Amino acid sequence: MERDDLIEYSLHTHHSEEKGKEIRKKIIFVTILLTAVTILEVGLGAFIKQSNAIWPFVKWSFVILTLFKAGYIVMVFMHLGDERKWMRYVILLPYFIFVLYLIFIAIWEGLAVGQAWETYGF
Amino acid sequence: MAGHVAELDSKTLWGGKESPFSTSYGKLMMWFFLVSDALTFTGLLIAYGFTRHDVQDAWPIGEETFNSMPFLGHGYPLLYVALMTFILIVSSVTMVLAVEAGHRMDRKGVIKWMIATIIGGFFFLGSQAWEWSHFIHGSEFGKIELADGSQAIVKGHFGEINNFKVTIAGSEHKKGDVIKEDLLHTFHHAAVLGHIENGMIKLHDGSVAKINKQHDHDMVLIVKKAGKNHVLNARIEGKQAEKMYYESLYSGTANKVVYGADLKDNEYGPQQYGQFFFFITGFHGFHVFSGVIINIIILLGVVAGTYHKRGHYEMVEKTGLYWHFVDLVWVFVFTFFYLI
């Protein structure tokens, strides 16, 4: 059955050998990048003790590097970067709204618990 | 018309005039599932963070807890977890290469890269099994409760136990027997029950034996729960550490020492630490396991030529999304559980 009212979408757009080469190049670049970041993280974790004065800085750099890695995995490996702009928003916005709310609640409740300790003892 | 329904190709499945976001129904739904699953893991990790700050005793430090390698022993902080992370990243790369081969309708390429992905998945699962086993069985020293009520983890080289020499006969062993089997296990078991006193071990059959053990080396006690005489994170080294450790271990009192981990207690830190370890890495490992199974099912479809006949390899892309998600979660677990 042929329907002429349908608009083609990515499912049937195959790419050529040359395009494939380009994509593979990008994949290998991201692989090296992710591996290098992981090695850097393990190095920092193994050599800088938590008692060290710069530990808070190291800790936050872990968080930033992790978000950096996550961005590459989602945008390149999961191809979200190649999807339509509004699809990206539909996936990412609800997630971030919920997560920011969850973090807010955890910190807020944490402060309340801390205050209760200070008031009533452990 | 009815006869044609089976021939409808997947692009008509949305039914409307256009496909939302130029994406197929299946792919979008996979994304929505992943968003909800991501929220589950986020919830778990935030609960972990909350509990960690909520607990008063010292929380275990990743490089202190996870410093062993298979066949090599101790002293390799975080290397094994890093290796696991690397294996999972590589298997994510082979998956994305399979998806890319699918876009070129290269069936052989898809098969090759999917097999590589599945092997990587099995390697990760095997590593996690080793890690769990190591976590559950624990170290030779365990965590010790010192005389003042503080608790300390123990680092150093455990002197091997040569044998037990029976001095008082029981129902199984005669006086003068030398026991050479299952020594460490028997030793740990007796220590937990408080059946070791002044270098003598009481065995399960009622006999008493002398412990022939080599000296420990480089012992360090790190206080993880403060007591009357020791503050949190205090380090006790050398002869002093050995004296305090064996005073407790050989006191003949039960539950002075904890070996390994279960849901009730563990030698690394607070009870909640073990619970979160089992739940978060277990839940992630369950995802990896399902991912491997789904990959195998899709691989069978590729080998059978199902997707080639269909004209596109979108099924590979969809399982790929799931597989990358598993990798993505591990990146976060690695940071928040092992590094920080």
Task: Write out pLDDT tens, residues B24-41.
Answer: 888 899 999 999 999 999
CA distance A121 to chain B (A): 12
CA distance A93 to chain B (A): 10
| Best CA proximity match to B66, nearest among B159, B129, B138 | B138
In A, minimum Cα distance to B103 occurs at A14
The residues with which B15 forms a beta bridge, in sequence order, are none
Residue B15 lies in a domain: no
Pick from B202, B232, B264: which residue ends a domain? B264
Which H/E stretch holds residue A61? helix A55-72
| Best CA proximity match to B319, nearest among B298, B304, B303 | B298
What is the tally of structural domains in chain B? 2
Pick from B219, B244, B264: which residue ends a domain? B264
Q: One digit per residue, pLDDT tens: chain B, 340 residues?
A: 333 334 445 555 566 556 677 788 888 999 999 999 999 999 999 999 999 988 877 888 887 788 888 877 777 778 889 899 999 999 999 999 999 999 999 999 999 999 999 999 999 999 999 999 999 998 889 999 988 888 999 988 888 899 999 999 888 888 888 998 889 999 999 999 999 988 899 998 889 999 999 989 889 999 888 888 888 888 899 888 998 999 888 888 888 899 999 898 899 989 999 999 999 999 999 999 999 999 999 999 999 999 999 888 999 999 999 999 999 999 999 999 998 8
Look-up: residue for tokens 């089992």? Answer: B278
> What ipTM was estimated for this complex?
0.87
Residue A3 lies in a domain: no
Task: Tell me the residue range of the domain where A102 lies.
Answer: 84-122
Shared domain for A54 and A23, answered yes or no, is: yes
3-state secondary structure of B224: strand
Low-confidence ranges of chain A (pLDDT < 50): 3-10
Pick from B225, B244, B264: which residue ends a domain? B264
Residue B13 lies in a domain: no
Residue B16 lies in a domain: no
What are the start-end ranges of the E strands in chain A? none
Which H/E stretch holds residue B329? helix B314-333
Q: Dihedrals φ, ψ of B150, to 5°?
A: -80, 160
Shared domain for A23 and A75, answered yes or no, is: yes
**C-alpha count within 13 angstroms, C-beta hemisphere, residue B60:** 25
Shared domain for A53 and A104, answered yes or no, is: no
Say how far apart CA B89 and CA A72 lie, in whole Å. Answer: 12
Query: Which residues of chain A are within 8 Å of residue B320 when distances are taken between CB atoms?
Result: 77-78
Q: Do A3 and B4 make contact, defined as CB atoms within 8 angstroms?
A: no
CA distance A66 to chain B (A): 7
Shared domain for A90 and A118, answered yes or no, is: yes
Q: Dihedrals φ, ψ of B169, to 5°?
A: -70, 150
Residue A90 lies in a domain: yes
3-state SS track over B32-76: HHHHHHHHHHHHHHHHHHHHHHHCCCCCCCHHHHCCCECCCECCC
Which pLDDT does position B72 carry in this prediction? 77
CA distance A119 to chain B (A): 15
Say how far apart CA B118 and CA B99 lie, in whole Å. Answer: 14
**Residues with Cβ within 8 Å of residue B334, at least 6 apart in sequence:** A38, A41, A66, B81, B85
Shared domain for A105 and A63, answered yes or no, is: no
Shared domain for A78 and A109, answered yes or no, is: no
What is the tally of structural domains in chain A? 2
Residue A6 lies in a domain: no
Query: Which residues of chain B are within 8 Å of residue A10 when distances are taken between CB atoms?
Result: 22-23
Of the partner residues B54, B56, B311, the one whose CB lies closest to the CB of residue A12: B311
Query: Which residues of chain B are within 8 Å of residue A86 when distances are taken between CB atoms?
Result: 21
Which pLDDT does position B251 carry in this prediction? 86
Q: Do B340 and A90 make contact, defined as CB atoms within 8 angstroms?
A: no
Residue B54 lies in a domain: yes
Q: Do A66 and B8 make contact, defined as CB atoms within 8 angstroms?
A: no
Cβ of A86 under 8 Å from any chain B Cβ? yes
Residues 52-91 of chain B with CB under 8 A from chain A are 53-54, 56, 61-63, 77-79, 82, 85-86, 89-90
Shared domain for A38 and A52, answered yes or no, is: yes
Cβ of A68 under 8 Å from any chain B Cβ? no
Task: Tell me the residue range of the domain where B226 lies.
Answer: 143-264
Residue A101 lies in a domain: yes
Shared domain for A77 and A106, answered yes or no, is: no
Residue A1 lies in a domain: no
CA distances B11 to A12, B19, B24, B79, B310, Å, are: 9, 8, 7, 47, 12
Q: Dihedrals φ, ψ of B218, to 5°?
A: 50, 40
Residue B291 lies in a domain: yes
Shared domain for B325 and B236, answered yes or no, is: no
Which pLDDT does position B3 carry in this prediction? 38
Residue B150 lies in a domain: yes
pTM for this prediction:
0.87
Cβ of A120 under 8 Å from any chain B Cβ? no
Q: Do A91 and B18 make contact, defined as CB atoms within 8 angstroms?
A: no
Cβ of A38 under 8 Å from any chain B Cβ? yes
Residue A105 lies in a domain: yes
Amino acid at B85: T
Query: Which residues of chain A are within 8 Å of residue B10 when distances are taken between CB atoms?
Result: 11
Which pLDDT does position A122 carry in this prediction? 61
Residue A70 lies in a domain: yes
| Best CA proximity match to B139, nearest among B176, B180, B191, B87 | B191
Residue A2 lies in a domain: no
Shared domain for A89 and A100, answered yes or no, is: yes
Shared domain for A67 and A102, answered yes or no, is: no
Which pLDDT does position A36 carry in this prediction? 94
Shared domain for A26 and A50, answered yes or no, is: yes
Q: Do B21 and A45 make contact, defined as CB atoms within 8 angstroms?
A: no
Shared domain for A95 and A58, answered yes or no, is: no
Query: Which residues of chain B are within 8 Å of residue A73 when distances are taken between CB atoms?
Result: 92, 324, 327-328, 331
